[in-house]
Structure 1
Amino acid sequence: MAYVRKAKKRPYADQVFKFIADFPDLIYDGMIKCKVCQIDLQCWDKGACRRHVNSTRHIKNQNGVTPKTQFMFDLLFVLVTCGVPFLILDRLPFREFWKKYCPDVDLPSRTALRNYVTTVREDVVNRIKCALKNKRLWLCVDETTDCKKNSIVNVIVRVMDPLKPTVPLLLASKRLTECTGQTITWVVLETLAKFQVPPSQVLMLVTDGDTTMRLVGRYLQEQGCRLLHVTCKVHALHLVAERIRKCFPEVDALIASTEKVFLKSPKHLRAFHAQCPGVREPSQSILTRFGTWLEAALYYAQYFQQIKVVVLQFNPAEAAGAKESQTKFRDISIETDLQIVRNNYKGLYGSIEKLQNGALSLVESLQILDEVDTLLHTIDDARNDRVLEEFESVKKDSDFITLKQISDGVSTNPLTEFKECFNYACVTSTDVERSFTKYKHIFRQGEHVSMRQLWKHI
């Protein structure tokens, strides 16, 4: 007959309270638990409790040393959010630095840290779900292309708190083989479903004025989203600035040619700093960044004579663009045009800068746009007619008019009942634009693969 081992009987509660009285860190509430380690102990006798209390893990936790699992979670989260590749964990200089200043904490390898990726991702997703539960939401979506010319779509939300601006949350960064209104809408609806957000919770959608994005707004409304689709107002003002650039082609040529003179030329920059102490280097006009051409034009209008003296001393045969730049600096009409741009459109550049602040209230944003409207209508210049025409064309946004009416309390739209939620409604999509730069490592190969696994659905 085979020997059958009998299961050990659990002691009664009064017996447990009696023998754990010698261990202040242990409590009993149906299970024996350790307050320091925050775990359930699978033991029911005094000897086992003593072994746990004397264990290395318990002593480290008692002395304030972070448990290994929590340390791994925190390290992983910091590396990902700061954009630091996991490869650094295997670099000898970094490991020696860590060993010198943190000798009591073992630095994990890159391979060991990857084992915690899934758990941390699930933890982040759950925290976002809790933050979005039963809240009214602001939604922003945009697309760009990666190095392989594939379309990448980012989806960002904000909680529409009536009392304060909130931090934007990146919910999804998806790669699409085909970027259409339907595929982007599918990404948005799938993302909302993943985070258990009903479409009815979304009150506002902000995108650029592209035709595809306009279709996304229409499709979402057809899917039950009672939202206002507003096009980004910084994009709108940027288009106005681009029209100004086209109205002043000689100024544009001056800026472009002078950039070439100083670009990647330490010799020319040294000459500039020697003759213009205290003056910052010539501004660069980056067409993909909002308002940079206006910023460059204002800079050249202010320091025209100083830069002219420096540029005219360069040998045209040695510097790219020097000959054209010198020709433009000798043209008196260009200096006049620069002053016109400065006098007429300096306020427009300031408005573009202000609107990129995502913490503005809706009232403040509307006030800035009204100031731009007033500014452009008061300029007495024949070329401004085309600028004003561009401004009027980007103003045609029916849902934005409804948003203004809701803010003024004169709208009959059903969303008026959520008027207070629109107090800090952002009218720009700069957050989603910047997210492409901030999370550009997501779709890289090699050392960033673990980051891609962590953030591809967050």
Structure 2
Amino acid sequence: SNLFHHVRSNKHQKHLDLFYKTQTIELEEQTSSVTRPTFTMDLTRMMIACNIPLAKVEQPEFINFFEKHCGKRLPSRTTLTKCMEEECETICSKIKDQLKEKDIFVQADETTDSQGRAMTAIMAGTLNGVTLERPFLIGLSDVTTINNQSLQLAVIRALRKVLGSELANKKLRLFLTDGASYCLKAGRGLRQQFPNLIHVTCIAHALNRVADHARTQFPKGNHLISEVKKFFRHFAASFKIPLPPEPVISR
């Protein structure tokens, strides 16, 4: 039958051997000590830094490449996931050592992931009195609707996750956001829990709001600019003339 021929085929035997190798490696790593091999930890860090999904270690071509050119047998996806969790705890401990017992700032910003989902990024850093150091990303929340309460909750959760009992309410000095109304409300709400907090909004966002207010005060000028933009947009689309191959010299 077709099933019998498939079982005896070289392709099936090859994949079966790879499966047994993966199971053997996983069993050996589960029975070994808590300390991970250097190769496994380095592989985990490399794949995370290069944005390579950990599931790729189970691809036959990926396994064959490492066995052929590196002479290494790849660990299982489960092992790499455990290494990633251990590495995350190590990094959080290092961030905690950098932030605890120091004056810190928190920055909140909206972003999107690779799938277009709305995310709220929470960053924190130390205030040395002269310049702002490079902040640490301490929280990334998947939110469907962002408002002042969800922003406050995201900030507090991120700080408690990293600092834990070392979080001192008087050490949070600065809160950086854009000038949206819900951010202003979130700043006022956080100030009740952190008495020394100063809320600073984005200057570019504030200037944009000023310009938007000026647009409403001069409707004729706004209409003129709108018509000029429409003219140039339709003019360029109607001809579809490509750019010249060489710069045009007018002088």
Candidates 159, 171, 186, aligned match of 1:201: 171
Counterpart in the other structure of 1:74: 42
* Matched position secondary structure for 1:78: helix
TM alignment of 1:275-294, pairs within 5 A: 275-277=244-246
Identify which of 165, 175, 197 aligns with 1:227: 197
Distance 1:259 1:86 in 2: 47
1:253 corresponds in structure 2 to: 230
CA deviation after TM superposition for structure 1 residue 204, in Å: 1.1
Q: CA deviation at 1:72?
A: 2.2
Instruction: Give the aligned partner of residue 87 of structure 2.
Output: 120
Structure 1 residues 20-46: Cα deviation after superposition (integer angstroms, max 9, x where no partner): xxxxxxxxxxxxxxxxxxxxxxxxxxx
CA distance in 1 between partners of 2:70 and 2:43 (Å): 14
Q: Distance in 2 between matches of 1:130 and 1:252?
A: 54
Distance 1:198 1:207 in 2: 21
CA pair 214-71 structure 1, distance change in 2 beyond 3 A: same
Q: Which residue of 2 aligns with 1:55?
A: none
Shift of residue 203 of structure 1? 1.3
Structure 2 match to 1:452:
none
Q: What TM-score do you get using the length of structure 2 for normalisation?
A: 0.65
| Structure 1: runs of 5 or more not aligned | 1-66, 263-267, 280-302, 306-458
Q: Structure 2 CA distance, aligned partners of 1:194 and 1:126?
A: 10
Relative contact order, CA 8 A, sep 6+: which one is greater? 1
- In the alignment, the residues of structure 2 paired with residue 75 and residue 184 of structure 1 have an alpha-carbon distance, to the nearest angstrom, of 35
Aligned to 1:134: 101
Shift of residue 232 of structure 1?
Answer: 0.8
Larger Rg: 1
How far off is 1:149 after superposition? 9.0
Residue pair 2:36, 2:83 contacting (<8 A) in 1 also: no
* CA pair 278-106 structure 1, distance change in 2 beyond 3 A: farther
Correspondences of 1:268-417 after superposition (within 5 Å): 271-272=242-243, 275-277=244-246
Say whether the 8 Å CA contact 1:192–1:199 is kept in structure 2: no
Percent identity of equivalent pairs? 26
Counterpart residue identity of residue 204, structure 2: V
Are 1:192 and 1:198, in contact at CA under 8 Å, matched by a contact in 2?
no
Which residue is 1:179 aligned to?
Answer: 146
Aligned alpha-carbon RMSD (Å)? 3.7
Aligned residue among 116, 119, 125 for 1:158: 125
Q: 1:143 to 1:165 in 2, by over 3 A?
A: closer
1:79: Cα distance to partner? 2.2
- Give the one of 53, 57, 61 matched to 1:85: 53
In the TM superposition, residue 190 of structure 1 has moved relative to its aligned partner by: 2.2
The Cα shift of 1:241 comes to 7.1
1:241-277: CA deviations, max 9, x gaps?
A: 7778956224533564578689xxxxx79x43xx233
Structure 2: which 5+ residue stretches go unaligned? 1-34, 216-220
Structure 2 counterpart of 1:214, from 172, 184, 200 = 184
Kindly indicate whether the alpha-carbon contact (under 8 Å) linking 2:170 and 2:195 is maintained by their aligned counterparts in 1: yes
Q: What CA distance in whole angstroms lies between the structure 1 residues aligned with 2:191 and 2:38?
A: 43
> Post-superposition shift, 1:100?
4.1
C-alpha displacement at 1:170, in angstroms? 0.8
Change (3 A) 1:225 1:153: farther
Between the aligned partners of 1:224 and 1:68, the Cα distance in structure 2 is 41
Summarize the Cα distance change of 1:256–1:112 in structure 2 as closer, same or farther, 3 Å threshold: farther
1:356 matched to which residue of 2? none
Could you tell me how far apart the structure 1 residues matched to 2:48 and 2:58 are? 16
